[in-house]
């Protein structure tokens, strides 16, 4: 398998990511230790049981060197990233890894089919799909961090299009130009939304000069995010 940090090489791959009742409940906004009874738990269990046939964990990833830094962005060997937040977040980085990942369209089709007849079950599937995509992204971030550490590098946290200082539409176009997700079936709408909807795109910077992994300060959801570290 190619290294995450192999330069200018686009990698298309898949992963196996575990899904459980905790994931289904978390996707509905319930606390980690929540154990609801009745129909909510039944719907969560049904979603988890059906998930293996509805999720397809795919990703495309590419790595590029930073060739030049500017106050408003960075020039890579394979493209350009514009955004003051990006220029700041990539301080100390030598490499940038661009990633687009998805669980495919089947689960959201199931959600659409259930909305009218069983909205509670539709909610369970939808929440599980969101967490499934987040877990895939977390797995990929962990691989980047692990291989960077082997080379004596630190990594930034994932830098997502739409964060403060990196407007969604332009950011999505920049990530898609670096890591073309067409082979995994992900497309971008004119307003910057990814289809299938259960898809994520992000960048991770790596370098010997990178000190902090968290980038919560640049995220518009930092004050309400249940995944935010306590120290961020």
Q: What is the pLDDT along the chain (232 residues), one digit of tens a residue?
A: 567 887 767 899 999 999 998 898 889 887 766 677 789 999 999 999 999 999 999 999 999 999 999 989 999 999 999 998 899 999 999 999 999 999 999 999 999 999 999 999 999 999 999 999 999 999 999 999 999 999 999 999 999 999 999 999 999 999 999 999 999 999 999 999 999 999 999 999 999 999 755 555 555 555 545 444 443 3
| Alpha-carbon distances of 2 from 6, 50, 61, rounded to whole Å | 7, 32, 11
CA distances from 195 to 26, 117, 158 (A): 23, 24, 20
Domains and CATH numbers, the chain: 11-218 (3.40.109.40)
Q: Which of 225, 27, 172 is nearest to 111 (CA)?
A: 27
CA distances (Å), 18 to each of 25, 56, 79, 90, 156, in order?
14, 12, 34, 31, 25
Q: Is the peptide bond before 196 cis (omega within 30 degrees of 0)?
A: yes
Query: Among 87, 45, 44, which Cα is nearest to 68's?
Result: 87
pLDDT value of residue 232: 38
**How high is the pLDDT of residue 223?**
55
Q: How many CB atoms lie within 10 A of CB 176?
A: 21
Of 83, 17, 24, 28, the C-alpha closest to 48 is 24
Q: Are 99 and 145 in contact (CB under 8 A)?
A: no
pLDDT in tens, 202-224: 999 999 999 755 555 555 555 54
Under 8 Å between Cβ of 190 and 168 = no
Q: Which helix (H) or strand (E) holds 22?
A: helix 21-26
DSSP bridge pairs for 19:
none
Q: What pLDDT, on the 0 to 100 scale, is given for residue 222? A: 53
> b/e per residue, 151-167, with b = 16+ CB within 10 A?
eebbbbbbbbbebeebe
CB atoms within 10 A of CB 225: 12
């Amino acid at each position: 398998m190619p290294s995450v940090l192999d330069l200018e090489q686009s990698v298309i791959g898949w992963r196996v990511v575990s899904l459980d009742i905790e994931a289904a409940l978390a996707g509905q906004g319930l606390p980690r230790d929540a154990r609801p009874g009745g129909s909510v738990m039944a719907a969560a269990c049904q979603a988890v049981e059906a998930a293996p046939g509805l999720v397809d964990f795919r990703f495309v990833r590419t790595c590029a060197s930073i060739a030049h830094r500017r106050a408003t962005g960075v020039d890579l060997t394979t493209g350009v990233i514009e955004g003051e937040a990006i220029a700041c977040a990539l301080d100390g980085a030598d490499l940038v890894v661009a990633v687009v990942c998805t669980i495919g369209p089947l689960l959201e089709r199931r959600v659409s089919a259930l909305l009218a007849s069983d909205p509670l079950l539709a909610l369970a599937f939808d929440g599980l799909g969101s967490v499934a995509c987040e877990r895939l992204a977390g797995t990929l971030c962990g691989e980047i961090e692990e291989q960077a550490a082997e080379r004596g590098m630190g990594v930034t946290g994932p830098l997502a299009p739409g964060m403060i200082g990196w407007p969604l539409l332009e950011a999505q176009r920049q990530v898609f130009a670096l890591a073309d997700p067409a082979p995994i079936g992900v497309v971008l709408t004119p307003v910057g939304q990814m289809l299938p909807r259960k898809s994520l795109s992000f960048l991770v910077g790596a370098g010997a000069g990178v000190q902090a992994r968290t980038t919560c300060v640049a995220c518009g959801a930092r004050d309400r995010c249940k995944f935010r570290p306590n120290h961020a």
